[in-house]
Structure 1
Amino acid sequence: MSSEPEKTREGTRALSRSEREVLRTFDPGSRALVLAGAILVLVFSSVLPWVGDAAGWEVLTGQADPELDIGLLPWLFSTNATVVGVGLGSLALITRRWVIAFLAGLGGLMVTFEGMIAIWSRQTGGVAGPSFGLVLAVLCMLVLGVQWMKIVWSRD
């Protein structure tokens, strides 16, 4: 039979596991709708023109008209926005893991900076300037980055 101290140790271990699980997760509350909406708009922005008449998905897949001379920066932003904004953001919302939310927030802010550089590169060189789809995608990444960091900072 189990003695009383062994039952206490088992109960303490179970409580410790529960505490660790609570510390690993977060509850986004009403921010979940903002995050899901921003991810949805980010996906929608990929069908809008980003550079000249080239849509975001064409920039991402490299199928844009070669005469537009899109360059590396818009492609890099589209790739990272897809991975961080859509991929990590969705994963963080689904799993509600604090570490993934932290990576989504930090990555979102870094990708926002990449997007601003991509807009600047299109304004200073190349054949076609930035279109509203690229600007909308950068704004979505800014919203995602800020909202994820607010969740991370609100951790008790």
Structure 2
Amino acid sequence: MTDSEQPSGENEQLRQEIEEVGRRASRTIDLGGRALVIAIAVFVLLVGLILPWMNGSSGLEVLIGHETGKASMVPRLFSLTSVLFGVLASALTLVTRRWVFAWVGAAGGWFASVDGILAIWSRQSSGNSPGVGLIIAVVAMVAIAIQWLRTAASRS
């Protein structure tokens, strides 16, 4: 090998390493202060799942099927989607910091938020008032969805 070939090979190797770092960086997100906001909102959502949602039953009891009947299907769907997208997807995204999981959290969070609003409406239209836990859970889920959407959309 001549001296003129050596730097060229080293430059090529350095270029490949830089490209690999760029590819890895493009798949991850930097959450900054949003991580704390999301973590607090997830905690509030968990508190909302413990508090009463309907007929004295907590959100977790609604999730496992303690409350049955036609009027409990939408709140039950909300309890499932809020746990899946609000808690599990948020935890997965906070740990892995993967951009694609931020989009899953955003899309699923908005689905759960709409479902939560429908859960409140279904409780009111059936003649029963929604419990404080259901209202807190819906507000927390909306906050989580907003934060994940802002995070996912901020990718440059």
Structure 1 length-normalised TM: 0.90
Output the amino acid matched with 1:83.
L
Structure 1 runs (4+) greater than 6 angstroms displaced:
none
Aligned with residue 60 of structure 2, among 52, 57, 60 = 57
CA deviation map 1:110-140 (0-9, x unaligned): 1100111111111112x63311111111111
- Pair member with larger Rg: 2
| 8 Å CA contact retained: 2:29, 2:97 | yes
CA deviation map 1:55-96 (0-9, x unaligned): 1110001123x5x76421111100010010000001111111
Counterpart in the other structure of 1:135: 135
In structure 2, what is the Cα distance between the partners aligned to 1:128 and 1:60?
19
Question: Once the 2 structures are TM-superposed, how far is the Cα of residue 50 of structure 1 from its aligned partner?
Answer: 0.5
In structure 2, what is the Cα distance between the partners aligned to 1:76 and 1:9?
54
Structure 2 length-normalised TM: 0.90
Question: Once the 2 structures are TM-superposed, how far is the Cα of residue 102 of structure 1 from its aligned partner?
Answer: 1.2
| 8 Å CA contact retained: 1:50, 1:133 | yes
Question: Once the 2 structures are TM-superposed, how far is the Cα of residue 31 of structure 1 from its aligned partner?
Answer: 1.2
Gaps spanning 5+ residues in structure 1: where? Answer: none
Gaps spanning 5+ residues in structure 2: where? Answer: none
- Alpha-carbon RMSD: 1.7
In structure 2, what is the Cα distance between the partners aligned to 1:24 and 1:128?
46
In structure 2, what is the Cα distance between the partners aligned to 1:89 and 1:8?
40
